[in-house]
């Protein structure tokens, strides 16, 4: 009885699993038809015949794009690189400019302007997303081939095979290189047929290639068998849907160099199948050859070369032919056509070797180099760590506000060059790059800063190092369930001593100094945050800002301000304006310049169709917060926090501030107490204005 119940239970589970299958989708992905049916498919949609470059370019565009302006420059963000289809697991942040250059290469190659004959080389420091970009492209084309828009097709031969007893049965031979079925049409017939198939449409069917050696052998054999009748020969062909798959080695190849002594070029172009030589009698019979090298199996799709410049020279010869002529040379066979995107990646030391090696000129000439630098924009760098260390990923632990921001700030600072302008610090430069405004610095100045920093982003600390140190802090028992910026910054500093990629003591010293800069910046941030929690909410700052803007507008335009209560027009409130400006040390002699600067900034935003927000102007934001804090500072004495005795009324006010920190700024019970004690100790030292 128990056995029967088990059988029923197993059956019901299998049925539940089976119901998850989409039978219609399965049938579409495993479509098979005659050559005639395939030609009718082309009549309906000629784009099924696209080249590898055209398919990848269309695949990227299919995910959409967003155009935006940054420093007066039009940029495009391609949504494909956000990896939304897979939940952002391989999302690329802050590299819109390099990715635009990469997509432009695909666009040019898709239109056959020459870059389809080049090796695409992603070049940059370790951990700058080169491998991730290649992985995204491979993963993307695999998914795209499963969609109706990305449909591709290949063919299988159906041949008569005689058995040992003289009986004849059907044997299927799949094209080993997943070729385009139109390659079966002799080249001299193609122009007329292709024109008729597109019927004058806007898409031109690619010229196509010659058949691979194995299919050419079968084609010639059948032509003889069928008396030269192409119509009867083509009845032996079945066209089927082509689904790219890296795991199944269909349309997607990956080659990784091994030890130089063990490298073998047959890994790229295939090798003899010695077991079949006895059956077919010759090692030059294509049926006795395995067309399963990485170039072979990647035909119609993409091949990735990991650390491409570490390849043995013999491999590079194969690479030259594959890129320029779109041909490979399998052992004992003629040159064979391929259609695939060749993308490699390498780091800077290897690329410098290539530049200094005069024997590698041919490869350099056939390479399109795309620099993939580290991120130099704070907000984008922070997204990397927020993706990996979010509430879902680190259950049971809390990360205090600004922890990931400070780690990101230090990482970006290590990648920036010291500004050549004497009145600008590297921290201010970081803020300018991040969209903040500073007096006397325009968007044109920021463009100049980027131009004069030719090596920016190609050196510095890798995101991997920061990720490792954040992980160390998370598993440490020091945080009592919550990690704060100081714990992570201390981990970052401790790891510098043994960091294998830091080449000199001078560099190590600079990185430590930048950690001190970040700690000072964090002090300013949390002081302001606690001040905001004590003083008021954002609405109060907004009202104060509106009042200030109304007054400086009237002042600069020599007008009067309407009193909201009396309705009368009065002179601008000089006391209010100066009380705010003094908070950021604007002297009396400079007040007119500062007020005009604010008004010009608001006017420039209006021209671009943008609305002024005090948060984007760091100095004004700080001045407003300090003014509001001063007006309400007597509501709580922070110095009391460091005292061992706190009266009930003060404790209630402290609890109120903690509640605001937790509700409005993302603190937990542990880190809100810690940050209040930290800020209180600063006030006790007299390091801040009360």
Do 380 and 133 meet the contact criterion of CB atoms below 8 Å apart? no
User: Residue 9 above 70 pLDDT?
Assistant: no
The CB density around residue 40, as the number of other CB atoms within 10 Å, is 12
pLDDT one-digit tens code per residue, 559-572: 988 877 777 888 88
CA distance 283 to 275: 10
| pLDDT for residue 358 | 74
* Global confidence as pTM: 0.83
Do 605 and 612 meet the contact criterion of CB atoms below 8 Å apart? yes
pLDDT one-digit tens code per residue, 351-389: 888 778 776 788 888 899 999 999 999 999 999 999 989
| pLDDT for residue 177 | 96
- The DSSP symbol for 485 reads H
Q: In the numeric block, which tokens belong to residue 660? A: 């605001």
CA distance 27 to 31: 6
3-class DSSP state for residue 124? coil
Strand partners, 302: 252, 341
- The DSSP symbol for 437 reads -
Domain chopping of the chain, boundaries: 383-522, 536-629
* Sequence-ordered strand ranges (E) for 314-386: 327-328, 336-337, 341-346, 367-371
Q: What angle do CA 387, 392, 395 make, to 5 degrees?
A: 125
Q: What angle do CA 685, 686, 689 make, to 5 degrees?
A: 145
Which ranges of 476-589 does DSSP label H, i.e. alpha helix?
A: 485-496, 505-535, 538-556, 574-581
pLDDT one-digit tens code per residue, 619-659: 888 788 778 777 765 555 555 554 555 677 777 778 888 88
Helix axes 538-556, 574-581, angle to 10 degrees: 120
Q: What angle do CA 314, 316, 318 make, to 5 degrees?
A: 80
User: Residue 187 above 90 pLDDT?
Assistant: yes
Do 513 and 413 meet the contact criterion of CB atoms below 8 Å apart? no
**Sign of the dihedral defined by the CA atoms of residues 679, 681, 687, 690, in that order:** positive
User: Residue 687 above 50 pLDDT?
Assistant: no
Do 278 and 272 meet the contact criterion of CB atoms below 8 Å apart? no
pLDDT one-digit tens code per residue, 63-107: 999 999 887 789 999 999 999 988 889 999 999 999 999 999 999
pLDDT band at 220 (very low <50, low <70, confident <90, very high): very high
pLDDT one-digit tens code per residue, 515-558: 999 999 999 899 888 877 876 557 778 888 888 998 999 999 98
């Amino acid at each position: 009885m128990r056995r029967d119940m088990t059988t029923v239970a197993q059956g019901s589970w299998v049925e539940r699993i089976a119901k998850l299958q989409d039978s219609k989708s399965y049938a579409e992905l495993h479509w098979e038809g005659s050559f005639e049916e395939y030609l009718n498919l082309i009549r309906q949609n000629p784009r099924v015949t696209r080249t590898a470059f055209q398919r990848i370019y269309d695949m990227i565009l299919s995910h959409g794009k967003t155009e935006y302006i940054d420093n007066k420059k039009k940029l495009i963000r391609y949504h494909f690189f956000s990896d939304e289809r897979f939940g952002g697991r391989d999302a690329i942040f802050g590299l819109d400019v390099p990715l635009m250059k990469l997509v432009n290469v695909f666009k040019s190659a898709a239109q056959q302007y020459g870059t389809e004959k080049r090796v695409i080389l992603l070049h940059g420091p370790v951990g700058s997303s080169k491998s991730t970009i290649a992985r995204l492209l491979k993963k993307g084309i695999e998914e795209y081939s499963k969609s109706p828009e990305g449909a591709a097709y290949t063919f299988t031969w159906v041949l008569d095979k005689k058995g040992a007893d003289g009986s004849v049965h059907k044997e299927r031979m799949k094209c080993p290189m997943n070729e385009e079925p139109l390659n079966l049409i002799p080249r001299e017939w193609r122009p007329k047929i292709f024109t008729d198939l597109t019927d004058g449409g806007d898409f031109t069917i690619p010229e196509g290639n010659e058949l691979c050696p194995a299919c050419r052998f079968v084609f010639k054999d059948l032509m003889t068998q069928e008396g030269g009748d192409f119509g009867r020969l083509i009845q032996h062909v079945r066209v089927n849907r082509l689904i790219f798959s890296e795991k199944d080695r269909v349309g997607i190849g990956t080659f990784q160099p091994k030890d130089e002594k063990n490298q073998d070029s047959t890994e790229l172009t295939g090798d003899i199948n010695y077991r079949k030589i006895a059956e077919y009698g010759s090692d030059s019979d294509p049926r006795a050859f395995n067309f399963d090298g990485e170039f072979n199996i990647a035909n119609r799709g993409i091949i990735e070369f990991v650390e491409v410049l570490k390849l043995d020279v013999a491999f590079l010869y194969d690479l030259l032919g594959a890129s320029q002529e779109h041909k490979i040379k399998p052992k004992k066979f003629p040159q064979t056509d391929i259609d695939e995107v060749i993308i490699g990646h390498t780091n800077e030391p290897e690329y410098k070797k290539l530049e200094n090696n005069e024997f590698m000129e041919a490869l350099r000439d056939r390479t399109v180099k795309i620099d993939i630098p580290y991120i130099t924009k704070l907000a984008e760098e922070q997204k990397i760590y927020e993706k990996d260390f979010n509430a879902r990923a680190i259950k049971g632990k809390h990360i205090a506000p600004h922890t990931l921001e400070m780690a990101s700030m230090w990482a970006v600072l290590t990648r920036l060059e010291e500004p050549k302008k004497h009145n600008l610090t590297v921290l201010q430069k970081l803020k300018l790059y991040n969209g903040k405004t500073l007096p006397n610095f325009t968007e044109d100045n920021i463009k100049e800063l980027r131009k004069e920093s030719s090596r920016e982003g190609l050196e510095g600390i890798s995101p991997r190092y920061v990720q490792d140190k954040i992980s160390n802090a998370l598993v440490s028992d020091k945080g009592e369930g919550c990690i704060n910026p100081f714990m992570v910054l201390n981990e970052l500093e401790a790891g510098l001593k043994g960091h294998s990629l830091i080449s000199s003591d001078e560099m190590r010293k600079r990185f430590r100094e930048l950690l001190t800069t970040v700690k000072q910046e964090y002090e300013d941030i949390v002081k302001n945050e606690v001040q905001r929690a004590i003083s008021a909410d954002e609405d109060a700052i907004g009202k104060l800002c509106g009042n200030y803007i109304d007054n400086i507008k009237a002042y600069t335009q020599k007008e009067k301000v309407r009193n909201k209560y009396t309705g009368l027009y009065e002179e601008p409130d000089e006391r209010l304006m100066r009380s705010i400006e003094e908070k950021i040390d604007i002297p009396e002699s400079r007040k007119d310049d500062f007020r005009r600067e604010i008004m010009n900034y608001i006017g420039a935003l209006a021209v671009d169709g943008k609305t002024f927000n005090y948060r984007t102007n760091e100095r004004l934001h700080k001045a407003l917060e300090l003014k509001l804090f001063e007006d309400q500072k007597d509501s709580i004495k922070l110095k009391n926090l460091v005292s061992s005795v706190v009266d009930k009324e003060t404790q209630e006010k402290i609890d109120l501030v903690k509640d605001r920190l937790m509700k409005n700024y993302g603190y937990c019970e542990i880190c809100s107490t810690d940050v209040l004690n930290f800020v209180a100790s600063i006030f006790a030292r007299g390091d801040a204005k009360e």
